């Protein structure tokens, strides 16, 4: 992964993406603090803002308006803003600008619908049709780059082998951290000149509805702690640096100015001596934040 002076990486379509981004997902209870955190991240110097639209499209629209009208920052000062297309909107006629537009995941469903037995209700759309609509958005100048999220190798190949393909995905955004290193997927993406972008880079979501609360906490792992002590860095910086050394674009989120400023240091370290690998994959199995088991297009059934 070649970084330029601005710590950006060139994607396969010629456009650039900052190697470290600020994720903006936040529960309803912390919406206002997270709006302020996004403003702080931009003030500190982050120029890659990731917006998962499903988590609250109204909050996303509000944040975008505040950027556009200068309340947060002049739009021209932003380097890169991405938005994920939620699964509900895979149908080709439901598209409507951005630096990067991503299919959030291959499992289509009406937000979180459930039947009378409490099971999720799924819908299935040919992802190649969705991709054609994404290509049309790029052709129309609505977006600069297009990518995917939570796709496995088979699903990526389905897009890459699509007859009449105009544009390859520039990246695949997946959960990736030292407990879940995605090594096979990363190797495949590199072979196809597709970037891998890591969400949950500091460990799986700790939401009790998603993750067993007795499962280990990545940032408290003794191996990670020992590496951090050796290099006089925080475990957070070690986890972020781990991804950059592997050629992975990395996203993180936090609510406080102090942590945002600390995490920005990973962008300033340049080409220092590589840290010892913090790869702990295999130490903790089953730590994945993904809730669509049972969907015909569930991406991780192949593993």
* The two structure tokens encoding residue 40: 């702080």
pLDDT of residue 210: 64
3-state secondary structure of 218: helix
User: Domain total for the chain?
Assistant: 1
pLDDT of residue 76: 41
* The two structure tokens encoding residue 60: 């996303």
Q: Containing H/E element for 127? A: helix 127-139
Overall average pLDDT of the 245-250 stretch: 92
* The two structure tokens encoding residue 233: 């860095």
How far is residue 241's CA from residue 238's CA, in Å, rounded to a whole number?
Answer: 5
Q: Could you tell me if residue 224 is inside a domain?
A: yes
pLDDT of residue 162: 95
Q: Which residue has the higher pLDDT, 280 or 190?
A: 190
pLDDT at 159 over 90: yes
CATH value at residue 138: 3.20.20.100
pLDDT at 294 over 70: no
Q: Could you tell me if residue 288 is inside a domain?
A: no
Q: Containing H/E element for 154? A: helix 153-160
In which domain, by residue range, is 17 found?
8-268
Instruction: State the pLDDT confidence band at 197, using cuts at 50, 70 and 90.
Output: very high
pLDDT of residue 273: 52
CA angle at residue 194 from 191 to 197, to 5 degrees? 120
pLDDT of residue 169: 96
Overall average pLDDT of the 252-257 stretch: 86
pLDDT at 45 over 50: yes
pLDDT of residue 106: 58
Bridge partners of residue 16, in order along the sequence: 10
pLDDT at 167 over 90: yes
Overall average pLDDT of the 66-74 stretch: 51
**Percentage of the residues of the chain whose pLDDT score is greater than 70:** 59
pLDDT of residue 127: 84
Q: Could you tell me if residue 3 is inside a domain?
A: no
Residue count of the chain: 303
Q: Could you tell me if residue 154 is inside a domain?
A: yes
Per-residue pLDDT tens for 79-135? 456 665 544 443 444 344 578 888 756 545 444 456 566 665 555 667 888 899 889
Overall average pLDDT of the 233-244 stretch: 91
How far is residue 120's CA from residue 38's CA, in Å, rounded to a whole number?
Answer: 32
pTM, whole model, 2 decimals?
Answer: 0.78
* The two structure tokens encoding residue 143: 């977006």
Exposed / middle / buried, residue 111 (Cβ in 10 Å: 0-12, 13-18, 19+)? exposed
Q: Could you tell me if residue 300 is inside a domain?
A: no
**Candidate ranges 52-66, 109-123, 168-182; pick with highest mean pLDDT:** 168-182
pLDDT at 231 over 90: no
Q: Could you tell me if residue 2 is inside a domain?
A: no
CA angle at residue 85 from 83 to 91, to 5 degrees? 155
Q: Could you tell me if residue 278 is inside a domain?
A: no
**What's 215's DSSP letter?**
S
Average pLDDT, the chain: 74
3-state secondary structure of 57: helix
pLDDT of residue 220: 92
Question: Positive or negative CA dihedral for 276, 281, 283, 287?
Answer: positive
pLDDT of residue 277: 60
């Amino acid at each position: 992964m070649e970084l330029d002076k601005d710590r950006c990486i060139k994607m396969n379509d010629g456009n650039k993406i900052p190697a470290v981004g600020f994720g903006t997902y936040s529960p309803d209870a912390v919406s206002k603090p997270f709006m302020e955190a996004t403003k702080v991240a931009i003030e500190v110097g982050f120029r890659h803002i990731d917006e998962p639209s499903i988590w609250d499209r109204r909050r996303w629209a509000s944040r975008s308006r505040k950027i556009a009208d200068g309340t947060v920052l002049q739009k021209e000062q932003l380097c890169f803003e991405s938005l994920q297309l939620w699964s509900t909107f895979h149908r080709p006629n439901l598209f409507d600008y951005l630096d990067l537009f991503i299919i959030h995941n291959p499992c289509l469903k009406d937000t979180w619908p459930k039947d009378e037995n409490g099971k999720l209700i799924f819908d299935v759309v040919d992802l190649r049709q969705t991709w054609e609509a994404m290509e049309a958005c790029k052709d129309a100048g609505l977006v600069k780059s297009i990518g995917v999220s939570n796709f496995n190798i088979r699903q990526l190949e389905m897009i890459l082998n699509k007859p009449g393909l105009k544009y390859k995905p520039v990246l695949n955004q997946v959960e990736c951290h030292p407990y879940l290193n995605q090594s096979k997927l990363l190797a495949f993406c590199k072979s196809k000149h597709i970037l891998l972008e890591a969400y949950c880079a500091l460990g799986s979501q700790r939401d009790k509805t998603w993750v067993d609360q007795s499962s280990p906490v990545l940032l408290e792992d003794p191996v990670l702690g020992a590496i951090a002590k050796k290099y006089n860095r925080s475990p957070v910086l070690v986890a972020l640096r781990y991804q950059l050394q592997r050629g992975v674009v990395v996203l993180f989120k936090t609510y406080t100015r102090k942590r945002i400023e600390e995490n920005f240091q990973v962008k300033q370290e340049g080409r220092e001596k590589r840290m010892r690998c913090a790869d702990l994959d295999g130490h903790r199995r089953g730590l994945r934040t993904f809730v669509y088991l049972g969907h015909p297009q569930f991406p991780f059934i192949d593993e």
